[in-house]
């Protein structure tokens, strides 16, 4: 915070609409559980459409040194929750309230020694503490029972745990981004149990638990703002199922295997996976572990055929689905049928990436370089509208030339790939030349790349080769890059580096219009200070303060630079 905002004038620093909403929260008593420490720190829970934690720290002069909230709001510097706690603090000060909970430094130290304190208590005292806490917080009792009890009906127990955890975090039928983590806590605990069962050799329970985790988590995709929690849960569940199925196929009776197979197949067939087929495919791979039994293999093959029939040809997403299903078919053929049949199936599906890659690698293993090159050339023609795929087939073509020992064609293709922004081919291409020839070739490449605007390969080469004069010119044309490249040229061009930083900072300052961008400018200034020393940086700071006197938020951020 700035040095001038205090508990009496904080309204001046808030957007009027935000201030109005914060005052409304304050009057409606949405500021809960406020705690004040002896050093001027206030913490509170603000309960609105969601629950957020807010913290304020006041100096001895009642200036607000720090003000934070864990809500996602970032349109302006301050949110309504911050306003609400400040209104509450001011009210308490005006009324000279003493009913708030105070925590002094000694108490904080005692809290940090909790494990030491608990270690001095006997068993009965510990049991009483846990039971008292469980009475106060039912979720603690549930987690203890789940983690440490032995329940014969644990699959049903896990299902309940997963759904209750999700439902607890719903608000008006939706789970916000910051509640997704707590919502999947039940699923995480259930999968911990599944892993325990897998490691203990109880494969039926491991599969059963994982299968009841998946449906509610997949459904949750439709009513949550997920930021990366859901996929790992589903990935872990399918991995447990696959590993358990593989081990069960080695030790369980045929009758038990069939029961597990049918459970997995039933889940894979469910329509909930129509839009999320990657997990359906993983379930089918798990079911394939039991395909040593002809009856189960036949059922699996029929299901794959049915799924293929439901896909529409000449559709990008359907092409992906078809390829994945055909890979499963190939896996079964390779496992149980002749090499000739597998080869024929591979050739008949050569239009798919996975199949072409397999065919190329098989040709190289056999030393059939002519066939390998032809497969690469055909792939380049087939996928001419897909640059990434074309590069892939060129890479396989390079691998073929490499195995053939054809240096000249390696040079031609390596340069082609390098000039097409494949920086990883730079050391490969360089390694094809004797040192005496390389310097001339390097200059030729750099001269050609220099005119390509923002070529990542050009930047990569001049940085890795410490081409200082070229780096300086590059930074002059792309000022933002001085942040990343100054260390390479500061010794040879200290004055030029300072000018580049100053010019870039002035440009960014002119364009900045809110505190978030002001902070970004100050971050660059700190780097400038590190690169060129305090003298130049301080002169620039003084210049900016003078130029932008009407931007108090910017001045505040500049004053923070040490």
Please tell me the distance from the alpha carbon of residue 230 to that of residue 113, in angstroms, as a whole number. 36
**What are 539-560's pLDDT values in tens digits?**
999 999 999 999 999 999 999 9
**What are 220-263's pLDDT values in tens digits?**
999 999 888 999 999 999 999 999 999 999 999 999 999 999 99
More confident of the two residues 130 and 189: 189
Helices (H), 225-269: 230-251, 254-269
**Average pLDDT over every residue of 175-192:** 93
Please tell me the distance from the alpha carbon of residue 194 to that of residue 239, in angstroms, as a whole number. 11
Prediction pTM value: 0.67
More confident of the two residues 430 and 125: 430
Q: Determine, yes or no, domain membership for 101.
A: yes
- Using DSSP, state whether 37 is helix, strand or coil: strand
Residue 63 CB-half CA count within 13 A = 8
Q: Determine, yes or no, domain membership for 84.
A: yes
**Average pLDDT over every residue of 385-396:** 96
CB 346 within 8 A of CB 358: yes
Asked whether the predicted pLDDT for residue 2 surpasses 90, the reply is no
Q: What pLDDT score does 170 carry? A: 92
Asked whether the predicted pLDDT for residue 148 surpasses 60, the reply is no
Best CA proximity match to 193, nearest among 218, 159, 223, 158: 158
Asked whether the predicted pLDDT for residue 5 surpasses 90, the reply is no
Q: What pLDDT score does 247 carry? A: 97
Per the structure, the complete domain to which residue 83 belongs is given by 10-112
Q: What pLDDT score does 195 carry? A: 95
CB 285 within 8 A of CB 328: yes
CB 279 within 8 A of CB 218: yes
Q: What pLDDT score does 555 carry? A: 93
Q: Range with the lowest mean pLDDT among 91-100, 231-240, 442-451?
A: 91-100
Highest mean pLDDT among 227-231, 285-289, 448-452: 285-289
Asked whether the predicted pLDDT for residue 481 surpasses 90, the reply is yes
Please tell me the distance from the alpha carbon of residue 544 to that of residue 539, in angstroms, as a whole number. 9
Are 82 and 163 in a shared domain? no
Q: Determine, yes or no, domain membership for 269.
A: yes
CB 554 within 8 A of CB 544: yes
Helices (H), 405-434: 407-419, 425-430
Domain boundary, last residue among 112, 132, 164: 112
Are 288 and 243 in a shared domain? no
- Please give the order of strands across the beta sheet that includes 101-103: 64-69, 51-58, 41-47, 31-37, 101-103
**Average pLDDT over every residue of 464-471:** 95
Please report, for residues 79, 88, 437, the alpha-carbon distance to residue 91 in angstroms, rounded to integers and kept in the order given. 19, 5, 79
- Using DSSP, state whether 277 is helix, strand or coil: helix
The residues facing 55 across adjacent strands are 43, 68
Q: What pLDDT score does 45 carry? A: 82
Q: Determine, yes or no, domain membership for 513.
A: yes
**Angle made by CA atoms 191, 197, 201, in degrees to the nearest 5:** 145
CB 506 within 8 A of CB 513: no
Q: Determine, yes or no, domain membership for 503.
A: yes
For residue 201, what pLDDT band results from cuts at 50, 70 and 90? very high
Please tell me the distance from the alpha carbon of residue 134 to that of residue 354, in angstroms, as a whole number. 54
Strand pairing class (101-103; 41-47):
unpaired
Are 14 and 106 in a shared domain? yes
**Average pLDDT over every residue of 124-153:** 66
**Average pLDDT over every residue of 447-463:** 86
Please tell me the distance from the alpha carbon of residue 43 to that of residue 58, in angstroms, as a whole number. 11
Domain boundary, last residue among 112, 127, 162: 112
Asked whether the predicted pLDDT for residue 52 surpasses 90, the reply is no
Q: Determine, yes or no, domain membership for 69.
A: yes
Domain boundary, last residue among 349, 381, 405: 349
Q: Determine, yes or no, domain membership for 203.
A: yes
Are 235 and 282 in a shared domain? no
Asked whether the predicted pLDDT for residue 316 surpasses 80, the reply is no
The residues facing 31 across adjacent strands are 46
Are 508 and 473 in a shared domain? yes
More confident of the two residues 61 and 25: 25
Q: What pLDDT score does 49 carry? A: 61
Asked whether the predicted pLDDT for residue 116 surpasses 50, the reply is yes
Q: What pLDDT score does 314 carry? A: 61
Asked whether the predicted pLDDT for residue 102 surpasses 50, the reply is no
Asked whether the predicted pLDDT for residue 43 surpasses 90, the reply is no
Q: Determine, yes or no, domain membership for 382.
A: no
**Average pLDDT over every residue of 292-315:** 90
Please tell me the distance from the alpha carbon of residue 113 to that of residue 415, in angstroms, as a whole number. 63
**Average pLDDT over every residue of 274-295:** 95
Residue 330 CB-half CA count within 13 A = 21
**Average pLDDT over every residue of 305-324:** 83
Please tell me the distance from the alpha carbon of residue 139 to that of residue 128, in angstroms, as a whole number. 17
Q: What pLDDT score does 127 carry? A: 80
Are 244 and 178 in a shared domain? yes
Domain count within the chain: 4
Please tell me the distance from the alpha carbon of residue 447 to that of residue 455, in angstroms, as a whole number. 12
């Amino acid at each position: 915070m700035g040095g001038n905002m205090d508990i009496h004038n904080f309204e001046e620093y808030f957007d009027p609409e935000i201030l109005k909403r914060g005052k409304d929260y304050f009057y409606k008593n949405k500021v809960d559980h406020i705690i004040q420490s002896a050093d001027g720190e206030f913490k509170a829970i603000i309960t609105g459409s969601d629950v957020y934690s807010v913290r304020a720290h006041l100096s001895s002069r009642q200036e607000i040194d720090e003000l934070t909230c864990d809500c996602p709001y970032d349109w302006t510097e301050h949110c309504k929750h911050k306003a609400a706690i400040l209104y509450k603090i001011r009210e308490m000060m005006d009324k000279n309230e003493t009913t708030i909970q105070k925590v002094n430094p000694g108490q904080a130290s005692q809290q940090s020694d909790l494990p030491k304190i608990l270690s001095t208590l006997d068993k009965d005292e510990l049991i009483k503490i846990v039971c008292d806490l469980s009475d106060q917080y039912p979720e603690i009792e549930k987690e203890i029972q789940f983690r440490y009890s032995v329940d014969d009906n644990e699959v049903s127990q896990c299902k309940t745990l997963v759904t209750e955890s999700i439902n607890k975090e719903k608000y008006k039928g939706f789970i916000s981004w910051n509640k997704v983590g707590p919502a999947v806590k039940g699923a995480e605990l259930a999968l911990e149990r599944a892993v325990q069962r897998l490691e203990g050799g109880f494969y039926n329970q491991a599969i059963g638990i994982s299968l009841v985790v998946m449906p509610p988590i997949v459904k949750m995709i439709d009513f949550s703002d997920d930021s990366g929690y859901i996929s790992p849960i589903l990935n872990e569940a399918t991995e447990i199922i696959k590993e358990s199925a593989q081990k069960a196929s080695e030790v369980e009776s045929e009758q038990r295997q069939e029961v597990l197979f049918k459970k997995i197949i039933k889940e894979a067939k469910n329509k909930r996976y129509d839009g999320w087929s990657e997990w359906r495919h993983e379930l089918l791979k798990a079911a394939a572990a039991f395909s040593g039994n002809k009856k189960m293999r036949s059922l699996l093959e029929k299901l794959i055929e049915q799924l293929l029939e439901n896909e529409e040809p000449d559709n990008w997403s359907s092409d992906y689905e078809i390829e994945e299903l055909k890979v499963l078919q190939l896996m079964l053929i390779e496992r149980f049928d002749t090499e000739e049949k597998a080869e024929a199936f591979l050739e008949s599906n050569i239009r798919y990436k996975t199949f072409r890659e397999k065919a190329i690698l098989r040709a190289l293993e056999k030393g059939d370089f002519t066939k390998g090159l032809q497969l690469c050339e055909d792939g380049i023609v087939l996928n001419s509208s897909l640059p990434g795929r074309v590069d892939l087939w060129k890479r396989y073509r390079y691998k073929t030339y490499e195995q053939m020992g054809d240096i000249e064609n390696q040079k031609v293709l390596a340069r082609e790939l390098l000039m097409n922004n494949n920086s990883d081919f730079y050391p490969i291409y360089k390694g094809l030349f004797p040192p005496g020839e390389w310097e001339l070739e390097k200059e030729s490449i750099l001269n050609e790349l220099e005119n390509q605007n923002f070529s990542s390969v050009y930047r990569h080469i001049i940085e890795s080769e410490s081409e200082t004069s070229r780096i300086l010119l590059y930074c002059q044309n792309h000022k933002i890059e001085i942040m990343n490249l100054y260390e390479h040229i500061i010794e040879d061009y200290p004055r030029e580096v300072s000018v580049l930083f100053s010019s870039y900072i002035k440009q960014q300052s002119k364009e900045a219009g809110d505190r978030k961008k002001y902070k970004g400018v100050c971050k660059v200034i700190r780097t400038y200070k590190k690169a060129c020393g305090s003298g130049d940086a301080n002169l620039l700071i003084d210049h900016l303060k003078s130029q932008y006197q009407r931007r108090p938020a910017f001045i505040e951020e500049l004053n923070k630079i040490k």
